[in-house]
Amino acid sequence: MQPRTRRVVRAVPLDIQPQPGASEALVIFGRSYWALHGLSAAGIVQWVTYVKALTPPMTGQAHHVAGLGVRATASGYRCSSCQGDLVLTARVVLESALAGEPVRCRGCSPRFLAKVRELAAAASDVSSGTVVADPLRVKLEQRYPLQFTPDAPIPLAGVRQELLVLGMLRRGSPLRDRLPAAADSWHRPVAPQDLTPLWLAIAQLGGLLRVHPASRIEAFARPADDASTERSGHHEADPMLVEHYVPFGRDAADGAERLERHLTTRLLTARLDIDGGRAMEFRSAVAELLGHECLDFARRRLPASLPPHLALRVLDAIGPVLRSRTLGHAFAVIWRAVPAMIDHVDDNANWYDDVDERVFTTRWWEAGMVRLENAAAVAERSPGGITPFTDLRGDAMSATTQALGDLLDVDPFELGVPAEQPEQAVPES
């Protein structure tokens, strides 16, 4: 038998054009549907947002609604039927095309075209007012109106919130008019899991971000037993589930651009603001961020789920590494715990089948933690003691940590906690 060889898959740029006459909401939805992060190392298509996390502006299957809003053409691919450009009908078609299977373009897919025509008829009914809009949506739009204040000053916020929002703007999503926070919208979290809910809630309360009324319905919790809130349409927006927008511009995209500039300046000057306290705040925010980035890494990579009481021990061990070395060293230190834990698993346990949570009792965790703490001491003692990680192999660092690297113009693996200002600074001569 011939060995199977993996096809080398090229990155595939999509050309997205609005359909003539499509409403803005449909075009935005179409762009979100087709927003592509690129391909994984294994050639698998990485979408910015899972289909189920998208809220179509009208009833219908996502790819049909997207088709009503935009035309997406996969550069470099051909329709197997008409040999013309491959204008896509659904995400799965792109995946098939990349796998080398014959696929048909939009023009050669009569059923798709019929569905899109049906939706177009329904959409014109909606705009002419003959179809009543979802009453829940109407209430949400009243409670969370989409409003822009291009002339209002951008409120000042804490370093943590500013870092988080910069992360969302720069690295969280390429569609900056709707900023999701939840990790389920894409596999890269906006910030480490223990920090995100609070940092985000404060950023929202402080006015840096507003709740987008078109967020999916499940993001708004309604107290079920309270008849008065039911009548008033009162809804609490879950900061982790809603999408946000930036109100400080002519529109959301302009607001995002202005806010990004504002935050970049604020954060770059924060490091120098020794008297005003922002420098100290910056340092502790970075320590917290990088520490928790490591903790998330440990949760993903250690062979069993980290018990909560050991999280503090991991943070304690890697704190000095982050202060004296880099994030890459700290990842390498955590990684050292993995073989120590596996080595201590009972020989009777079949590693691939039997090792589960019950196997990792106190003894194995202790072996892993001791190894981790020893590795941390080695890393701290000598610069060459531990080889730092320079890659997470498909695993993703949070958007906020990556944005911090962008801000300081260093590779995120080389980030560390900035040195405390010496107590007696040498005066400039």
Closer to Zn ion at the Cβ: 105 or 163?
105
Closer to Zn ion at the Cβ: 88 or 386?
88
Q: Least separation, in Å, of the C-beta of 106 and Zn ion?
A: 8
Q: Least separation, in Å, of the C-beta of 63 and Zn ion?
A: 17
Closer to Zn ion at the Cβ: 101 or 184?
101
Q: What gap in Å lies between CA 383 and CA 380, rounded to an integer? A: 7
Provide the CA 253 distance to its chain's centre, in angstroms: 18
- Taking CB atoms, the residue at the shortest distance from Zn ion is 79
Alpha-carbon distance values, 363 to 20, 345, 366, 370 (Å): 66, 9, 5, 11
Check if the beta carbon of residue 305 is closer than 8 Å to that of residue 320. no
Could you tell me the two tokens for 140?
Answer: 């949400």
Q: Least separation, in Å, of the C-beta of 109 and Zn ion?
A: 8
Q: What gap in Å lies between CA 66 and CA 77, rounded to an integer? A: 20
Residue 42, number of CB atoms within 10 A of its CB: 8
Q: Least separation, in Å, of the C-beta of 78 and Zn ion?
A: 8
Q: Which residue has the tokens 């940590």?
A: 401
Give strand ranges (E) for 189-305.
210-211, 220-221, 236-237, 243-245
Check if the beta carbon of residue 97 is closer than 8 Å to that of residue 46. no
Q: Which of 305, 303, 301, 335 is nearest to 321 (CA)?
A: 335
Closer to Zn ion at the Cβ: 105 or 211?
105
Closer to Zn ion at the Cβ: 86 or 211?
86
Check if the beta carbon of residue 155 is closer than 8 Å to that of residue 206. yes
Q: Least separation, in Å, of the C-beta of 81 and Zn ion?
A: 5
Helix (H, G, I), strand (E, B) or coil at 220: strand
Closer to Zn ion at the Cβ: 15 or 141?
15
Q: What element of type H or E holds 74?
A: strand 70-78
Closer to Zn ion at the Cβ: 79 or 164?
79
Q: HSE-up of 223 (CA within 13 Å, CB side)?
A: 8
Check if the beta carbon of residue 427 is closer than 8 Å to that of residue 290. no
70 phi, psi to nearest 5 deg:
-140, 165
Q: Least separation, in Å, of the C-beta of 113 and Zn ion?
A: 11
DSSP 359: T
Could you tell me the two tokens for 215?
Answer: 């967020």
Q: Which of 112, 285, 136, 99 is nearest to 219 (CA)?
A: 136
Q: Least separation, in Å, of the C-beta of 102 and Zn ion?
A: 11
Closer to Zn ion at the Cβ: 63 or 170?
63
Could you tell me the two tokens for 226?
Answer: 């309270």
Q: Least separation, in Å, of the C-beta of 104 and Zn ion?
A: 5
DSSP 77: E
Q: Which of 199, 231, 301, 242 is nearest to 55 (CA)?
A: 242
Closer to Zn ion at the Cβ: 78 or 313?
78
Q: Least separation, in Å, of the C-beta of 105 and Zn ion?
A: 3
Closer to Zn ion at the Cβ: 82 or 268?
82
Residues that bind Zn ion (CB under 5 A): 79, 81-82, 105, 108
